[in-house]
Amino acid sequence: MILIADSGSTKTEWCLIENRQPIEKCITKGINPFYQTSSEILQNLMEEYTLNYKKPQTIYFYGAGCANEEKNNIVKEGLAAYFQGADIHIDSDLCAAARSLCQQQPGIACILGTGSNSCYYDGQAMVNNVSPLGFIIGDEGSGAVLGKKLIGDLLKNQLPESVRKHFFETYSTTQAEILDHIYKQGFPNRYLAQYTRFLAQHIEKPEIESLVTQAFCEFIERNLLQYEQAASLPIHFTGSIAYYFKNQLKKALIKYNLKLGSITQAPMEGLIQYHTALKH
């Protein structure tokens, strides 16, 4: 029996697999070793993990923040304390995207969610990765950057007055409150990303569609075009931004003559397919 976990900072999705079939799933709070200790991860599991069907022999944990051995060990220690005796493998959320989207075929795998990331995957491993750098100086095409562009255009009077008026009516906020959230409170990336819903609701307006499409063009220019394989391999995407703005994403890829592969909202189903196909 194996257990697969796909974790972001907000939530973790768990899926228990027996005889190559998923049998049970649950959701817990996100696990991120940049913000949590092993003890806190253990406490998380004790309070929220509900899959008590059987103990897994092997665990594949994919998470945001699982970027190096030090951080991976924080997660591993927390999991080991709860799932005693299990064989535990820790990998990044980008590795999850690559395995989920490409399976055992070469391709370019991308994440477009609150943040963004990409890699060239040769069918076995991630071979090349352009660093995303975070939403302040990178993360092109992400929810955080789309939100940042929207807020910037609204407060700089770059969008029609009707759009501006509807925004402030919808969110009952002020410029002062927005700036306080961005510059003085925690997780400004999450705060900005929430406004992608407003973009989706007004995507028929030329100014909004242009904002979104241009953000994807920046993701392509500053990330994808650095992979020489991008010209010949399919470009795959996972994440809520790719999923809900797929039409604008397709337009941007066509502009650069890139081949679109698959677009999924989340990597779990692909991870189930990947791990059930392997001989464990």
Does residue 140 share a domain with residue 66?
A: no
The answer as to whether 77 is a domain residue is yes
User: Using one digit for the tens of pLDDT, what is the confidence trace for 132-185?
Assistant: 988 889 999 999 999 999 999 999 999 999 999 999 999 999 999 999 999 999
Which ranges constitute the DSSP H helices of the chain?
A: 38-48, 69-82, 93-102, 134-137, 143-155, 161-171, 175-184, 188-193, 196-201, 206-222, 240-244, 246-255, 268-277
- Which of 36, 51, 85 delimits the end of a domain? 85
Does residue 187 share a domain with residue 148?
A: yes
Does residue 186 share a domain with residue 138?
A: yes
Report the range of poorest mean pLDDT among 70-79, 182-191, 251-260. 182-191
**Whole-structure pTM value:** 0.88
The answer as to whether 94 is a domain residue is no
Which ranges constitute the DSSP H helices of 20-131?
A: 38-48, 69-82, 93-102
The answer as to whether 278 is a domain residue is no
Residue 254's Cβ-count burial label (10 Å; 0-12, 13-18, 19+) is exposed
Does residue 110 share a domain with residue 81?
A: no
The answer as to whether 97 is a domain residue is no
Over 70: is that where the pLDDT of 53 sits?
no
- What average pLDDT does the segment 8-29 reach? 88
- What average pLDDT does the segment 60-64 reach? 93
Instruction: Provide the number of structural domains found in the chain.
Output: 2
Does residue 120 share a domain with residue 240?
A: yes
Q: What is the pLDDT of residue 213?
A: 97
CATH value at residue 259: 3.30.420.40
Does residue 170 share a domain with residue 126?
A: yes
Does residue 72 share a domain with residue 138?
A: no
The answer as to whether 61 is a domain residue is yes
Enclosing domain of residue 68: 2-85
The answer as to whether 96 is a domain residue is no
Scan for tokens 């070469």, then name that residue.
106
